[in-house]
Amino acid sequence: MAVDRPIAQLGRRLRVGFVGGGADSVIGSVHQIALRADGLGDLVAGAFSIDPQVSRETGAALLLDPSRIYDDWEEMLTAEASRDDRIDAVVVITPPSLHQRISSAFLAQGFHVLCEKPMTDSAEAADILARDAARATGLFALTHCYTGYPMVREARELIGSGAIGEIRLIESEHAAGGPDMIRDPEDRSRRHWRFRRESMGIASVLGEVGSHPHNISEYVTGQRVQLVSASLSTIAPGREVFDNAYLNVTYDGGAVGRIWSSFVAAGQEHGLGFRIFGDEGSLQWRQEDPEFLWHLTPGQPLRRISRGLPSTSDVARDSTRLGWGHPEGYLMAFANIYRDFLSAVVAHELGGDPAPLLDRLPGIDDGLSTMRLIDAAVRSHEAGGQTTAVTGSR
Amino acid sequence: MAVDRPIAQLGRRLRVGFVGGGADSVIGSVHQIALRADGLGDLVAGAFSIDPQVSRETGAALLLDPSRIYDDWEEMLTAEASRDDRIDAVVVITPPSLHQRISSAFLAQGFHVLCEKPMTDSAEAADILARDAARATGLFALTHCYTGYPMVREARELIGSGAIGEIRLIESEHAAGGPDMIRDPEDRSRRHWRFRRESMGIASVLGEVGSHPHNISEYVTGQRVQLVSASLSTIAPGREVFDNAYLNVTYDGGAVGRIWSSFVAAGQEHGLGFRIFGDEGSLQWRQEDPEFLWHLTPGQPLRRISRGLPSTSDVARDSTRLGWGHPEGYLMAFANIYRDFLSAVVAHELGGDPAPLLDRLPGIDDGLSTMRLIDAAVRSHEAGGQTTAVTGSR
Amino acid sequence: MAVDRPIAQLGRRLRVGFVGGGADSVIGSVHQIALRADGLGDLVAGAFSIDPQVSRETGAALLLDPSRIYDDWEEMLTAEASRDDRIDAVVVITPPSLHQRISSAFLAQGFHVLCEKPMTDSAEAADILARDAARATGLFALTHCYTGYPMVREARELIGSGAIGEIRLIESEHAAGGPDMIRDPEDRSRRHWRFRRESMGIASVLGEVGSHPHNISEYVTGQRVQLVSASLSTIAPGREVFDNAYLNVTYDGGAVGRIWSSFVAAGQEHGLGFRIFGDEGSLQWRQEDPEFLWHLTPGQPLRRISRGLPSTSDVARDSTRLGWGHPEGYLMAFANIYRDFLSAVVAHELGGDPAPLLDRLPGIDDGLSTMRLIDAAVRSHEAGGQTTAVTGSR
Amino acid sequence: MAVDRPIAQLGRRLRVGFVGGGADSVIGSVHQIALRADGLGDLVAGAFSIDPQVSRETGAALLLDPSRIYDDWEEMLTAEASRDDRIDAVVVITPPSLHQRISSAFLAQGFHVLCEKPMTDSAEAADILARDAARATGLFALTHCYTGYPMVREARELIGSGAIGEIRLIESEHAAGGPDMIRDPEDRSRRHWRFRRESMGIASVLGEVGSHPHNISEYVTGQRVQLVSASLSTIAPGREVFDNAYLNVTYDGGAVGRIWSSFVAAGQEHGLGFRIFGDEGSLQWRQEDPEFLWHLTPGQPLRRISRGLPSTSDVARDSTRLGWGHPEGYLMAFANIYRDFLSAVVAHELGGDPAPLLDRLPGIDDGLSTMRLIDAAVRSHEAGGQTTAVTGSR
């Protein structure tokens, strides 16, 4: 722990509010732990649920000041905007269909916004949010949490430094299959919201799951998907949305690759990972074994790079809390997103430059890229798998 | 070792001849070890190379009777056909472009034929060989060696018995990238024959490499690829053939899947494996760790099935020579192909039924299926990845 | 997150103070993260270092009330004892030679005490602390952090339920070898305190390192080491303390085993793990891969039990924050120690029974057992490895 | 396959006879496969069992000349010694109590001898055999089969070249626990010969199992065990021999270490492996994953060295038949013992120097070392674990 850290210069911890993430939400408690980990901010306000009762109970369980537990996000926005001790940043943890409206509204009032993925529920909404964020004074980032893993960041640094040469093939996937994913209950009312057409649209597998391998492959390589040929399937009998997506893609840097996302890879516990092949070697990583990055060089011993080694990059080492040998896991990866975002906010508040910190984080451009890919993938699928350009206003 | 084994009933070891597999061939020595392993046959004759000098030196190094070391396969066929102690079986280890002619000719003279993969160099040639094999009295099988692995056979048995339910997704790949694969020497004359258009055609990656994941996925699931959408690439600069193939496929049993074959997966040492997902679980296997079959069931502990366990199937246990704990590896998998094929020949010679043994081995139908897939894949690629039916005369 | 959690009943977060754990301490930041993770307590006071300047800087960096940043622990004890909003609990993170005095003093004033391992620096001090804790109203536990891992707790539950039968062999080890461990700098003043005789005594490898495998083996099996034969070595040239310890042990439940602790296992990154063999199977676990517990049964497939599976015990599932597939790692294991201890304090404050929570945590008896083992091991070594009883006042 | 190999110069394959290894023996078929693998010798004669009927059936099943199937080894020795086409070498595959008498007798008649491990059943018998071998013209080697693994040999070469510095700690173990090992049937007559006192003596675990980790640790380090402190146990209830042995040892090169051998490590499938720690790094290897040697260097990425890599030593590459990526397994390791021994015999017959080949193989000195260790270990155990010197006549 450095005693001269910027938060001490600021002289207070940041005040953070949540929209969503209530006691009925799994990801809500993940956000809380990630926020607390480094002591940079406190959760002081929230509209935690679409159900005001849940919101109130959540706030009470968290021992929040009752006056800052809100029934809905509009109320929260109005109230917080007028407080002297108003929150510095809001975290948007709602269903994707609300992301744009909430984010745009808080940005418009000068708040910093940290938003869950996928950024929106359509390419159009993504464009709107991009426009609004460009006009805003506040900072914006996406909690594509897997980019918080030190070894993912190390992969990005190594690729950037040419460690595996020119990138040729990019294989990524997020294919899981838990008991509640591989089939739907007969009783439609008992189905998970992921598998209801009304809540997530028919291509939910692409937003919910596929956005991760897409984002991570772009994050580590610095390339954007340019062309996509999609084959979407509904595998579980009676299901009303796609639950398996095969995308064959071409990146703007010249690489080709595949992105597989699935809810029906029966028995795979999480199933996120990438393999990036250059003309001199490859880097491979799996979220279920995240402490290690595997560096393959043809004809040479395989190298397993451990988180925390002295030879790793500054960014990777700066994203750890422990030396090698003690696994840090998912929550600290998620906490890195918070640490970098809140540190960027502190830098911003102190009049410094938040850019180097924001550079570590997925942001507007990344969210746009994902939403446009999904859009193009659905069009490709509807055209029988035709190769389709990922287009956008910029 | 059972003392009452059929070979003892026959009272002699089988006489085997090689076409190809000379001292200039890596795979030739693999065949020799596989043939020797179980003492069912002796290599007694051969036309080991297109170069008569190499053939003679190979035969001499193997201490063969000089009169049975031949300059070419036609000479060998004529001479062996007229000997009283003629070979029982011939093994065809030549480039694929010769497989059909040699196999058909030996079959026509009543020899048993064990042929390397891919079965031929075209769907047409495969049809001819299929017709000739149907007319022949001799047995025919393909050395798709990976089907000799006990745990691959166990996967087939488990899937057949419904252990993972109805098959939904079939992922297979064979993606390697050694120093001599990922790029070509500038001097064209020093390029490997795999990467010369004149020797293997432009789609050699599909025959040389892709035939393995295709065959193994059909072998373990009992399903045939029916539709294919192909994306073939030439990745290494200046290379004149495809070296990476992405196939998206639909199987006739209803499963969808992908087959990836590559010479440019830099640093992967071998890279053959499959993941088969049913509606109740999945089975996963990697050739580089072949003693184990991984059985995943959603929400339950992962099970690692070891070769040799009492709970494994009769076929799997019959395909091993050792108890669990001592790895058997690739050569014994290859030897299983020989053991089953030669045992089938013995059964045939003793008037028994070779069918149960041949059922363990890839044969004409499997070779046909592969050659037709390759044909369809090339057509699909040329049509911009259009979904294309894998068609055939039967 | 349960909305009805006891902390909400209590209506406030617990107030926690640190003795030690300053900015010059690696483990200090680990404690901070572990404390923050679940939002049950706040760090509000501390005497963070033997160096008052470091203490003050640490407290300032943590944005603490300056009046609660102390120059030494006696000052802190006096001041806190007289406050209305006094701390509920103190965490002792000093060198072991101070553990007993500080813990006894805080206990005597009615504070709850969470103390780092090893419990003391001698068996005698351990006896004194045991006596003082028995007289105290406050709770006491040890941060033997590895017992916070869900899969370690699952092993304990499985063994307790007879899953591997009667325990026969207990293998445990903690053998690491980083660059700064495997040799000492020539300049004696630059040596790590671990390797200075004056700071840790000659047997520091047993307290610093060996206490972990000893504690974890007793924790999961419920057996105590009864007899020990020790072989201690100084491997690194010129080093003045032992850096490798081989203990052969007999447990009071009848099992035999070995405990290996080392600073010179060159290249091992952490090296803590156990293998417990019963008469029906075994359980194996490694800290570097902590999400999984391996259950071996003779003649059957290996089972890999993942953290979070429905089939795992209540205690194991209650010790996780995420479902399977997302690794939780070391810091959440450490946070489990805090969560259980602070929850026990809350239960105690609410008039409930803290025993079920304390039962999950190493405490006085465990610390005593370790200190007596170390005492016996040193005596055994000095007697040429003679088998020596681990004795104690109870 | 080199066409100019010495066997071609010799102009014939070697003639080999077996004593033991009949159809009732598991290891017999392993020897047969290992012998056949490289085509250097043929099994032409044998006294395959103590039971003449089994010997005859075995020979018949192998299609041997009936005149060379013998009822006992003395008959075989007499008959073979007087044949013009007498066997070149005999392989001794009997229980250890017969090894010395048979080996000495065949050596005395000028045969080469390849003998199973442990070399004898006592240190005295080992001394006698050593004396007889020294007087003989024939070659002698032990089938300590695990030294045939290319990666074990690579470890030896790396250690010899100083790759991990000066050796400090040597951990080796062979601890298995199959269903038939971890307990004895109540009916004494159904117990395995390993667990009968009359067949193997009380310390069979040391000869049967413990000889492997002892031999392999000496093989790869070039050091000999000098001092031993032993703790032997009988774990399975009612068993009449030791089934678990903990040895703490000191090597003559200064290293300390442990050797664990066990029949009751329930669920471990094979359990042989070593970890050798030097002052600059370590090498680790497990027989169940034998294609890879793990090279650990403090503070650097772990390196996994694959069998067949160009960077491996001449000896390691000369001990393989395949490139990397295709596992070779146990039988090819065993075949390496045969290949080296028979090649040494060929060299000897051709008037060349067999020493470089014999240097790869365990021989008389290694067998002596093991038998003396066992002797010292039993004495140590009887003296309550007292540290005991491993003594010998040289």
Nearest to D384 among C171, C231, C387 (CB): C387
Given a contact cutoff of 8 angstroms between Cβ atoms, the answer to whether C122 and C202 are in contact is no
Nearest to A39 among C28, C62, C321 (CB): C62
Task: Reduce the secondary structure of A194-233 to three states and give it as a string.
Answer: HHCHHHHCCCHHHHHHHHHHHHHHHHHHCCCEEEEEEEEE
Chain D residue whose CA is closest to B23: D1
Question: So what's the pLDDT on residue D393?
Answer: 42
On the question of pLDDT at D277 being above 90, the answer is: yes
What gap in Å lies between CA D286 and CA D273, rounded to an integer? 4
For residue A46, report the phi and psi dihedrals to the nearest 5 degrees. Answer: -175, 150
3-state secondary structure of C79: helix
- Strands lying side by side in the sheet with D41-47: D41-47, D14-20, D89-93, D112-115, D140-142
| B283 DSSP β-pair partners | B276, B295
What gap in Å lies between CA A47 and CA C23, rounded to an integer? 36
Structure tokens at A369: 């890229």
What gap in Å lies between CA D334 and CA D94, rounded to an integer? 17
Pick the more confident residue, B204 or A295.
A295
Given a contact cutoff of 8 angstroms between Cβ atoms, the answer to whether B229 and B248 are in contact is yes
On the question of pLDDT at C393 being above 70, the answer is: no
Q: Left if phi > 0, otherwise alpha if psi is -120 to 50, otherwise beta: which for D361?
A: beta
Nearest to B296 among A181, A229, A268 (CB): A268
Given a contact cutoff of 8 angstroms between Cβ atoms, the answer to whether D259 and D191 are in contact is no
The number of angstroms, rounded, from the C-alpha of C175 to the middle of its chain's C-alpha atoms is 16
ipTM, two decimals: 0.96
What gap in Å lies between CA C223 and CA C5, rounded to an integer? 34
What gap in Å lies between CA D166 and CA B325, rounded to an integer? 32
Chain C residue whose CA is closest to A21: C1
Say which residues have a Cβ less than 8 Å from residue B245's Cβ, sequence separation at least 6.
B203, B205, B206, B209, B210, B230, B231, B232, B233, B259, B260, B261, B262, B377
Beta strand spans in A290-365 (E): 292-296, 302-306
What gap in Å lies between CA C62 and CA C69, rounded to an integer? 10
Say which residues have a Cβ less than 8 Å from residue A382's Cβ, sequence separation at least 6.
none
Say which residues have a Cβ less than 8 Å from residue B277's Cβ, sequence separation at least 6.
A177, A264, A265, A266, A267, B164, B167, B168, B169, B170, B171
How many residue contacts between C and D have a Cβ separation below 8 Å? 128
| Tens of pLDDT, residues C291-349 | 999 999 999 999 999 999 999 999 999 999 999 999 999 999 999 999 999 999 999 99
Is A302's CB within 8 Å of D306's CB? yes
Given a contact cutoff of 8 angstroms between Cβ atoms, the answer to whether A278 and A165 are in contact is yes
Which of B291, B300, B307, B324 has the highest number of chain C CBs within 10 A, making it the mutation to test binding with C? B300
Rg (CA), chain C: 21
| Tens of pLDDT, residues C189-247 | 888 878 888 777 777 899 999 999 999 999 999 999 999 999 999 999 999 999 999 99
Say which residues have a Cβ less than 8 Å from residue D272's Cβ, sequence separation at least 6.
D146, D173, D174, D212, D213, D216, D286, D287, D288
Which of D295, D300, D307 has the highest number of chain A CBs within 10 A, making it the mutation to test binding with A? D300
| Average pLDDT value for residue range B337-360 | 97
For B181-211, letters b (16+ CB in 10 Å) and e give bbbbeeeeeebeebbbeeebbebbbbbbbbb
Query: pLDDT over 70 for what percent of chain C?
Result: 98
Nearest to D61 among B5, B29, B60 (CB): B5
What gap in Å lies between CA C73 and CA C78, rounded to an integer? 9
What gap in Å lies between CA C147 and CA B94, rounded to an integer? 61
Question: So what's the pLDDT on residue B132?
Answer: 98
What gap in Å lies between CA D182 and CA A114, rounded to an integer? 58
Given a contact cutoff of 8 angstroms between Cβ atoms, the answer to whether B375 and B125 are in contact is no
Subunit partners of chain B (3 or more CB pairs within 8 A) = A, C, D
How many of the other CB atoms lie within 10 Å of CB of A173?
25
| Tens of pLDDT, residues B214-234 | 999 999 999 999 999 999 999
| Tens of pLDDT, residues D171-220 | 999 999 999 999 998 888 888 878 888 777 777 899 999 999 999 999 99
Is C1's CB within 8 Å of A330's CB? no
C237: preceding bond cis by omega (within 30 degrees)? no
Residue type, B171: E
Structure tokens at C82: 């007289």
A373: closest CA of chain B, how far (Å): 19
On the question of pLDDT at C391 being above 70, the answer is: yes
Chain C residue whose CA is closest to D229: C385
Residues of chain C neighbouring A321 (CB-CB closer than 8 A):
29-30, 33, 331
DSSP label of B389: E
| Average pLDDT value for residue range B46-71 | 96
Is D309's CB within 8 Å of A300's CB? yes
Average pLDDT, chain B: 95
Chain C residue whose CA is closest to B303: C303
Residue type, D266: A
Q: Residue C42: which pLDDT band, with cuts at 50, 70 and 90?
A: very high
Sign of CA dihedral B32, B37, B39, B41: negative
How many of the other CB atoms lie within 10 Å of CB of A251?
20
On the question of pLDDT at C3 being above 70, the answer is: no
For chain C, what is the largest distance between any 2 Cα atoms, rounded to a whole number of angstroms? Answer: 65
Subunit partners of chain A (3 or more CB pairs within 8 A) = B, C, D
Q: Residue D122: which pLDDT band, with cuts at 50, 70 and 90?
A: very high
Given a contact cutoff of 8 angstroms between Cβ atoms, the answer to whether D178 and C277 are in contact is no
Is C260's CB within 8 Å of D260's CB? no
| Tens of pLDDT, residues C11-41 | 999 999 999 999 878 899 999 999 999 999 9
Q: Residue C1: which pLDDT band, with cuts at 50, 70 and 90?
A: low
Least confident of A62-66, B15-19, C3-7, D311-315: C3-7
Angle at C64 between CA C63 and CA C70, to 5 degrees: 135
> Mutual orientation of helices D123-135 and D364-382 as an angle, nearest 10°?
160
Task: Reduce the secondary structure of A20-52 to three states and give it as a string.
Answer: ECCCCCHHHHHHHHHHHHCCCEEEEEEECCCCH
D167: closest CA of chain B, how far (Å): 28
For residue B14, report the phi and psi dihedrals to the nearest 5 degrees. Answer: -70, 150
For residue B300, report the phi and psi dihedrals to the nearest 5 degrees. Answer: -125, 165
On the question of pLDDT at B1 being above 80, the answer is: no
Structure tokens at D281: 């790094």
Which of C231, C294, C381, C382 has the highest number of chain D CBs within 10 A, making it the mutation to test binding with D? C231
Residues of chain B neighbouring D37 (CB-CB closer than 8 A):
33, 36-37, 331
Nearest to D309 among A295, A301, A306 (CB): A301
Residues of chain A neighbouring B248 (CB-CB closer than 8 A):
231, 246, 248, 385
Say which residues have a Cβ less than 8 Å from residue B360's Cβ, sequence separation at least 6.
B147, B153, B315, B319, B336, B340
DSSP codes of every residue in C11-73 = TSPEEEEEEE--TT-HHHHHHHHHHHHTTSEEEEEEE--SSHHHHHHHHHHTT--GGGB-SSH
Residues of chain C neighbouring D384 (CB-CB closer than 8 A):
386-387
Given a contact cutoff of 8 angstroms between Cβ atoms, the answer to whether A154 and A317 are in contact is no
Given a contact cutoff of 8 angstroms between Cβ atoms, the answer to whether A216 and A152 are in contact is yes
Q: How close are the terminal C-alpha atoms of chain A, in Å?
A: 41
A95: preceding bond cis by omega (within 30 degrees)? no
pLDDT tens for chain A, 394 residues: list them. Answer: 566 789 999 999 999 999 999 987 889 999 999 999 999 999 999 999 999 999 999 999 999 999 999 999 999 999 999 999 999 999 999 999 999 999 999 999 999 999 999 999 999 999 999 999 999 999 999 999 999 999 999 999 999 999 999 999 999 999 999 999 999 998 888 888 788 887 777 778 999 999 999 999 999 999 999 999 999 999 999 999 999 999 999 999 999 999 999 999 999 999 999 999 999 999 999 999 999 999 999 999 999 999 999 999 999 999 999 999 999 999 999 999 999 999 999 999 999 999 999 999 999 999 999 999 999 999 999 999 999 999 864 3
Which of B158, B231, B276, B303 has the highest number of chain A CBs within 10 A, making it the mutation to test binding with A? B231
Query: pLDDT over 90 for what percent of chain C?
Result: 91
Residues of chain D neighbouring B46 (CB-CB closer than 8 A):
none
Question: By C-alpha distance, which of D257, D166, D229, D275 is closest to C244?
Answer: D257
C150: preceding bond cis by omega (within 30 degrees)? no
For residue D247, report the phi and psi dihedrals to the nearest 5 degrees. Answer: -115, 130
- Strands lying side by side in the sheet with B89-93: B41-47, B14-20, B89-93, B112-115, B140-142
Given a contact cutoff of 8 angstroms between Cβ atoms, the answer to whether B173 and B260 are in contact is yes
| Average pLDDT value for residue range C136-159 | 98
